[in-house]
């Protein structure tokens, strides 16, 4: 029996995770779950999965959950640090890290420092502090198993291969809702247009990231850290059907791809089962429905975020932290109706330009750069 903590339990990846965990009652036991403020969903999940402990950042939400769960004996904790506290209190073997954004950094670091397996959806943590997370994992022996579908595909294709045999990584991208939108018209995009993704159903922040293709920029950096490949070896391909989740080209000319339905249950199941393959009662893929698979180079004019991703993967240092923080601020402003869609990538570019970089930063420097980049992005957006 492996014990599991689900961080970001009430979100979209959380939903996929619990769908898979329902199928695994004999091998996986949920010991803790954490979210921000959705107590209604949390109480429902807690009643179903019976963890030892539940954490909610929002204190009022935690109070309501505590009352509702009192008869069950499940402990409810509250406050900004619930994710790290939940890991310390319940010592899980596996941590499904699905908090959105920089808020997931502390718990992702805590996971690998403790030597637990980090099943990572929260790519922003790795973009911010890939040096610290990979180093702590190497020191403790913790496995990092990607949940992001592209990286799960690459992980599976590379598994058991010599790292030197990898020539190129083809990171596939659906292209999002605006892949064919006229290049000059991005200033007019409204939040409701950007929130309509053609192939994936996801949380709001990552859905906007997919529309700007900043998601792919973050994923370039994520791949850089996970697979230790140079930025030049990572190529983005627009693949509209979202069936081929990524591909790896080897020095002998072979290319290995991983395919499947665009459902996060597939990479989540892989990560929860790893190193074994667990059988599923659902989601087998009808390949005949997808006889036409297309691949095209992305358009760097429509999607300036892509070049930022490559630049950050080359530079590393604090640039990932700055890119992520500026993007988080600009996406929130866009969703609030306070800025234009095309200003998201522009703001990230400006903040990167103004960054005073440091090689191999420590946590204090990363957190300081995160705070600085948020202020700088806010300044850019108010201009």
Query: Rule CB under 5 A: is residue 124 a binding residue for Mg ion?
Result: no
Q: Which is nearer to ligand NDP, 83 or 249 (CB)?
A: 83
Is the separation of the CB atoms in 338 and 381 below 8 Å? Answer: yes
- Is the CA virtual torsion 350, 354, 358, 362 positive or negative? negative
Site map for ligand NDP, 317-356, x if CB under 6 A? ----------------------------------------
CA distances from residue 10 to 29, 38, 199, 231, 270 in whole angstroms, order as listed: 17, 7, 21, 34, 20
Among 3, 4, 5, 10, binds ligand NDP (CB under 6 A): 10
State the residue number with the nearest CB to Mg ion.
148
User: Cα separation of 312 and 310, whole Å?
Assistant: 5
* Region of 107-115, 149-157, 296-304, 356-364 interacting with Mg ion (CB under 5 A): 149-157
Q: Find the shortest distance in angstroms from Cβ 274 to ligand NDP.
A: 17
20: Cβ–Cβ under 8 A, 6 or more apart, which residues?
Answer: 265, 268, 269, 272, 280
* Residue 318 interacts with which of ligand NDP, Mg ion, none, CB < 5 to 8 Å by class: none
Query: Rule CB under 6 A: is residue 174 a binding residue for ligand NDP?
Result: no
* Region of 34-42, 243-251, 341-349, 351-359 interacting with ligand NDP (CB under 6 A): 34-42
Query: Rule CB under 6 A: is residue 124 a binding residue for ligand NDP?
Result: yes
User: Cα separation of 66 and 82, whole Å?
Assistant: 14
Residue whose C-alpha is closest to residue 320's, from 221, 181, 245: 221
User: Cα separation of 241 and 228, whole Å?
Assistant: 28
Among 5, 38, 131, 345, binds ligand NDP (CB under 6 A): 38
Among 58, 78, 110, 148, binds Mg ion (CB under 5 A): 148
* Residue 345 interacts with which of Mg ion, ligand NDP, none, CB < 5 to 8 Å by class: none
User: Cα separation of 71 and 123, whole Å?
Assistant: 37
Which residues from 261-280 bind ligand NDP, rule CB under 6 A?
Answer: 264
* Residue 28 interacts with which of Mg ion, ligand NDP, none, CB < 5 to 8 Å by class: none
State the residue number with the nearest CB to ligand NDP.
11
Q: Find the shortest distance in angstroms from Cβ 104 to ligand NDP.
A: 6
Q: Which is nearer to Mg ion, 39 or 150 (CB)?
A: 150
User: Cα separation of 287 and 291, whole Å?
Assistant: 7
Task: Report the relative pairing of strands 166-173 and 244-250 from DSSP bridges.
Answer: antiparallel
At 11 the three-state DSSP class reads: coil
Query: Rule CB under 6 A: is residue 34 a binding residue for ligand NDP?
Result: yes
Q: Find the shortest distance in angstroms from Cβ 200 to ligand NDP.
A: 5
Q: What is the DSSP string of 324-378?
A: HHHHHHHHHHHHTTSS-THHHHHHHHHHHHH----SS--HHHHHHHHHHHHHHHH
Query: Rule CB under 6 A: is residue 36 a binding residue for ligand NDP?
Result: yes
Q: Find the shortest distance in angstroms from Cβ 293 to ligand NDP.
A: 20
Query: Rule CB under 5 A: is residue 209 a binding residue for Mg ion?
Result: no
40: Cβ–Cβ under 8 A, 6 or more apart, which residues?
Answer: none
Question: Which residue ranges make up the site for Mg ion (CB under 5 A)?
Answer: 148-150
List residues near ligand NDP by CB under 6 A. 8-14, 34-38, 57, 83, 98-100, 103, 121-124, 148, 200, 202-203, 206, 264
């Amino acid at each position: 029996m492996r014990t599991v903590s689900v961080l970001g339990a009430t979100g979209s990846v959380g939903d996929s995770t619990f769908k898979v965990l329902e199928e695994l009652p004999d091998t996986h036991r949920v010991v803790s779950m954490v979210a921000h403020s959705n107590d209604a969903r949390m109480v429902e999940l807690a009643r179903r999965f019976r963890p030892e402990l539940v954490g909610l950042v929002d204190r009022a939400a935690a109070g309501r959950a505590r009352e509702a769960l009192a008869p069950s004996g499940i402990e409810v904790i509250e406050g900004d640090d619930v994710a790290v506290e939940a890991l310390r209190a319940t010592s899980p073997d596996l941590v499904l890290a699905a908090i959105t954004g920089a808020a997931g950094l502390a718990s992702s670091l805590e996971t690998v420092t403790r030597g637990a397996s980090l099943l990572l959806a929260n790519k922003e943590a790795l973009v911010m502090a890939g040096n610290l997370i990979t180093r702590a994992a190497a020191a403790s022996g913790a496995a990092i198993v990607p949940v992001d579908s592209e990286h799960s595909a690459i992980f599976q294709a590379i598994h058991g291969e010599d790292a030197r045999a990898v020539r190129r990584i083809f990171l596939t991208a659906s292209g999002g809702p605006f892949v064919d939108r006229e290049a000059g018209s991005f200033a007019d995009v409204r939040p409701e247009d950007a929130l309509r993704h053609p192939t994936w159903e996801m949380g709001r922040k990552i859905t906007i990231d997919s529309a700007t293709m900043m998601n792919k920029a973050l994923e370039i950096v994520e791949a850089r850290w996970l697979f230790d490949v140079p930025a030049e070896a990572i190529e983005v391909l627009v693949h509209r059907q979202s069936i081929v989740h990524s591909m790896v080209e080897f020095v002998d000319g072979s290319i290995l791809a991983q395919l499947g339905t665009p459902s996060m249950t597939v990479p989540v199941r892989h990560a929860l089962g790893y190193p074994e393959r667990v059988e599923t009662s659902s989601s087998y893929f009808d390949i005949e429905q997808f006889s036409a698979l297309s691949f095209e180079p992305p358009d760097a004019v429509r999607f300036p975020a892509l070049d930022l991703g490559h630049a950050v993967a080359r530079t590393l240092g604090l640039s990932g932290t700055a890119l992520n923080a500026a993007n988080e601020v600009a996406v929130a402003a866009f969703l609030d109706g306070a800025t234009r869609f095309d200003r998201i990538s522009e703001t990230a570019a400006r903040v990167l330009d103004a960054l005073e970089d440091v090689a191999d930063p420590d946590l204090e420097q990363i957190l300081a750069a995160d705070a600085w980049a948020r202020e700088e992005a806010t300044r850019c957006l108010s201009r």
